[in-house]
Chain A
Amino acid sequence: MQKLTNLPAKTPSHHMIANRGDRFFQGCIYVLTILIAIVTVYPLVYALSASMSKPLNIMNGNVWLWPVELSFQAYKNVFASKSIILGYGNTIYYAVVGTAINMVLSVMAAYPLSMPDIKGKNFVTILITFTMFFSGGIIPSYLNVRDLGLLNSRWAVMIPGAINATNMLILRNYFIHSVPGELREAASIDGCSAIGTMFKIVLPLSKSILMVVMLYYTVSHWNSYFDAMMYLQKAQEKWPLQVHLRNILIMSQMGDMAEQSGVDDVNTQLLYEALKYAIIVVSAAPLLILYPFVQRFFEKGIMMGSIKG
């Protein structure tokens, strides 16, 4: 495990270039990579530029890459919209409270299942792993949430997915393989209870993987729409941002943002062009800005998750 995380930074030896054929090969690789990068980045750059351009320029096709006639009107409208602000607040709420629930329950599952002397842990692990490959389906889950009286409550968005089996297994594997057993034993000989050992030894030694799993949960809360759409049909005030986005971007409903533009239908339609992009930027920016700083954690998590066990 340690070996994977501390990869040598030097160029691998197979990169030695031997002849002209290899040099051509190398050239193709670089050109291809740059093309892929351009295709990947273009939609994001365009969305940013369009959001800051005067709407008429988008309509006429003057915006290609950079903003044309800088204008922040669309952002003003987005931030003046009550439903967007409310949705943003809800998303932050679900991301914070939901992730907290995820983390507590995932650790509660992963820690006991990582201990060698716990009876029945294999049975519980199988019970949990099976749910990764088979489920009752959308409708029985919906009826279950309804029968439990959780429909249109914030819990419906946070509780049914409280533990993600993959994330739980990542934690468990890390506890097993990367926290030395001798440390735990030493702690228990010193009179530390099992819970005490968890708080004093295991969790502090697992900060990086806890961070990884936390980020996974946060991203999934931030970006999910389906559960909220399904479970919060009659509770519009609890909708996360993504459900509002669906109405605005895909169903072409402008909601309370149309009222502000006032004047007439043509202007509303015009504003909508820039507004779409502004709202895309406002919703996607936090994660896209945050992500490069925590990229190494994400990569580490994928490697951990891939280890069989």
Chain B
Amino acid sequence: MQDLRKRTWWADWGKSLAKYWQLYLLLIPVIVYYLLFKYKPMLGVQIAFRNYQLRKGMWLSDWVGLKHFLRFFSSYWSWTIIKNTLIIGFLSLIFCFPFSICLALIFNELHSQRFKKTMQTITYAPHFVSTIVVVGMMTAMTSPSTGVINKLLVSLRLVDEPIYFMGSSKYFRFMYIYSALWKDGGWNAIIFISALAAIDPSLYEAATVDGASRMQQLIHVTLPSILPTIVIMLILESGKVLNVGYEKAYAMQNDLNLAVSEVISTYSYKRGLEAMEYDYATAIGLFNSVISFTMLITVNAIAKRASETSLF
């Protein structure tokens, strides 16, 4: 019996290989790519536990156990960075995620299809503006000496002195979230808009017959219908809380706002590429990846229990 099963297994493989050998051939470069550029760096994280020396490489450098992690956790600055990362991550989750849902709901209530299309085109557009240009525009437009925003605030007498938005710890988080909303708030609504479009119109008809107002329809028909989409997106977002857009954070950083703008990823990058402490930097990055992954798994598990919707 055992033997037979084994034989058919091989036979299946043989048959499939004979018929589709070209397709297996196509997959080989793909697998090589993934091993070489995604999984080899995962093996590379072992230097987080080694004293990395260039001439010994990642396999032969001496083991040092948790030394780099202990160093990271024993520094006061590290806790500031962890705090910064969590704050920016959760602020993004609290503001950006519901904003996109609201935007989708608002668009869904628009009568005129042409007006709706135009508004969609406008709100999606900033998605195509690069991070660097977004940060560059913020820097230029909020400049205390020449920026239009400060000119406006001063002429409206909302402030006495121009505010150096980009060079102040106080405004960094606001600027970070605001620019995230501007750039991707509309774009991230697309997924909810398509979920809304798929709702069965007869549900609304039934609600109207029952005398439900627009607001009641929104709460009792629309929201429950798109809940699965919301849950899936929430799970995906939760995996990103620690992986805050480091490319933008890095671009927005300067000496004046570093106390709030330094996040785990940017710190790891600087430790590694600017200070050449590859092993220490890898340890910091690994800490970040592991926590992110754990959060994703946890939120996924909670969602599975609570709403029977999950990513995997």
Are A and B genuine complex partners? Answer: yes
Chain A interfacial positions (CB closer than 8 Å to B): 4, 7, 9, 11-16, 18-19, 21-22, 25-26, 29-30, 32-33, 36-37, 39-41, 43-44, 46-47, 50, 58-59, 61, 63-64, 105, 108-109, 111-113, 115, 117-119, 124, 127-128, 131, 133-144, 148, 159-160, 162-163, 193-195, 219, 222-226, 230, 242, 245-246, 248-250, 273, 276-277, 280, 283-284, 287-288, 291-292, 295, 298-299, 302-303, 306, 308
Q: How far is the CA of A280 from the CA of B201 in the complex (A)?
A: 44
Q: Which residues does chain B contribute within 8 Å of A61, judged by CB atoms?
A: 146, 148, 151, 155
The yes or no answer to B269 lying at the interface (CB within 8 A) is: yes
Within 8 A of A (CB), among B169-190: 182, 186, 190
Which of A26, A115, A280 has the largest count of B CB atoms less than 10 A from its CB? Answer: A280
Within 8 A of A (CB), among B257-312: 265, 268-269, 272-273, 278, 281-282, 285-286, 288-289, 293, 296
Q: Are A225 and B247 in contact, CB atoms less than 8 angstroms apart?
A: yes
Residue of B nearest to A24 (CB): B214
Q: Which 5 A-B pairs rank lowest in CB-CB distance, beginning with the nearest?
A: A249-B136, A137-B285, A136-B41, A140-B44, A14-B204
Question: CB-defined interface of B46-88 with A at 8 Å, one 1/0 digit per residue?
Answer: 0100000000001000000000000000000000000000000
Q: Which residues does chain A contribute within 8 Å of B217, judged by CB atoms?
A: 14
Q: Are B41 and A242 in contact, CB atoms less than 8 angstroms apart?
A: no
Q: How far is the CA of A64 from the CA of B288 in the complex (A)?
A: 43
Minimum Cβ distance to chain A for residue B46 (Å): 9
Total residue contacts A-B, CB cutoff 8 A: 292
Residue of A nearest to B217 (CB): A14
The yes or no answer to B95 lying at the interface (CB within 8 A) is: no
Contact of A245 among B47, B133, B265 (CB under 8 A): B133
Q: Are A141 and B34 in contact, CB atoms less than 8 angstroms apart?
A: no
**Listed A/B pairs (23) with beta-carbon separation below 8 Å:** A4-B197, A9-B113, A12-B201, A14-B205, A33-B106, A43-B141, A44-B129, A50-B148, A63-B148, A108-B26, A109-B27, A113-B27, A127-B34, A134-B42, A135-B289, A136-B38, A136-B285, A137-B285, A137-B288, A223-B128, A230-B273, A246-B136, A250-B132
Q: Which residues does chain A contribute within 8 Å of B89, judged by CB atoms?
A: none
Q: Which residues does chain A contribute within 8 Å of B204, judged by CB atoms?
A: 12-14
Contact of A284 among B16, B107, B129, B194 (CB under 8 A): B129
Q: Are A194 and B22 in contact, CB atoms less than 8 angstroms apart?
A: yes
Residue of B nearest to A32 (CB): B106
Q: How far is the CA of A2 from the CA of B27 in the complex (A)?
A: 29
Q: Which residues does chain B contribute within 8 Å of A163, judged by CB atoms?
A: 30, 33-34
A133 and B125 contact, Cβ closer than 8 Å, known pairs A7-B197, A32-B106, A119-B13: no
Q: How far is the CA of A137 from the CA of B286 in the complex (A)?
A: 7
Minimum Cβ distance to chain B for residue A129 (Å): 8
Q: Which residues does chain A contribute within 8 Å of B103, judged by CB atoms?
A: 36
Residue of B nearest to A299 (CB): B190
The yes or no answer to B91 lying at the interface (CB within 8 A) is: no
Minimum Cβ distance to chain A for residue B41 (Å): 3
Residue of A nearest to B29 (CB): A108
Q: Are A194 and B13 in contact, CB atoms less than 8 angstroms apart?
A: no
Q: How far is the CA of A303 from the CA of B148 in the complex (A)?
A: 38
Query: A12-B201, A245-B130 given. 11 additional CB < 8 A pairs?
Result: A14-B207, A14-B208, A47-B140, A59-B145, A112-B23, A112-B24, A131-B34, A137-B286, A139-B285, A194-B22, A280-B133
Q: How far is the CA of A196 from the CA of B205 in the complex (A)?
A: 50
Minimum Cβ distance to chain B for residue A145 (Å): 8
Minimum Cβ distance to chain B for residue A141 (Å): 5
Which of A4, A26, A193, A246 has the largest count of B CB atoms less than 10 A from its CB? Answer: A246
Question: CB-defined interface of B16-37 with A at 8 Å, one 1/0 digit per residue?
Answer: 1101101110110111011011
Q: Which residues does chain A contribute within 8 Å of B146, judged by CB atoms?
A: 58-59, 61, 273
Q: Are B30 and A276 in contact, CB atoms less than 8 angstroms apart?
A: no
Q: Which residues does chain B contribute within 8 Å of A295, judged by CB atoms?
A: 120-121, 124
Residue of B nearest to A109 (CB): B30
Q: Are A284 and B272 in contact, CB atoms less than 8 angstroms apart?
A: no
Contact of B37 among A14, A143, A162, A308 (CB under 8 A): A162
Minimum Cβ distance to chain A for residue B43 (Å): 8
Minimum Cβ distance to chain B for residue A273 (Å): 6
Q: Are A225 and B285 in contact, CB atoms less than 8 angstroms apart?
A: no
Q: Are A159 and B37 in contact, CB atoms less than 8 angstroms apart?
A: yes
Q: Which residues does chain B contribute within 8 Å of A299, judged by CB atoms?
A: 190, 194
The yes or no answer to B223 lying at the interface (CB within 8 A) is: no
Q: Which residues does chain A contribute within 8 Å of B191, judged by CB atoms?
A: 302-303, 306
Q: Are B20 and A144 in contact, CB atoms less than 8 angstroms apart?
A: no
Within 8 A of A (CB), among B99-123: 103, 106-107, 109-111, 113, 115, 119-123
Q: How far is the CA of A115 from the CA of B19 in the complex (A)?
A: 12
Q: Which residues does chain B contribute within 8 Å of A9, judged by CB atoms?
A: 113
Question: CB-defined interface of B192-220 with A at 8 Å, one 1/0 digit per residue?
Answer: 00110110010011011000011101000
Q: Are B190 and A246 in contact, CB atoms less than 8 angstroms apart?
A: no
Q: Are B106 and A137 in contact, CB atoms less than 8 angstroms apart?
A: no
Q: Are A16 and B208 in contact, CB atoms less than 8 angstroms apart?
A: yes
The yes or no answer to B12 lying at the interface (CB within 8 A) is: yes
Q: Which residues does chain A contribute within 8 Å of B234, judged by CB atoms?
A: none
A11 and B137 contact, Cβ closer than 8 Å, known pairs A40-B186, A225-B130: no
A18 and B213 contact, Cβ closer than 8 Å, known pairs A61-B148, A137-B268, A225-B130: yes
Q: Which residues does chain A contribute within 8 Å of B122, judged by CB atoms?
A: 37, 40-41
Q: Are A22 and B213 in contact, CB atoms less than 8 angstroms apart?
A: yes
Q: How far is the CA of A76 from the CA of B129 in the complex (A)?
A: 22
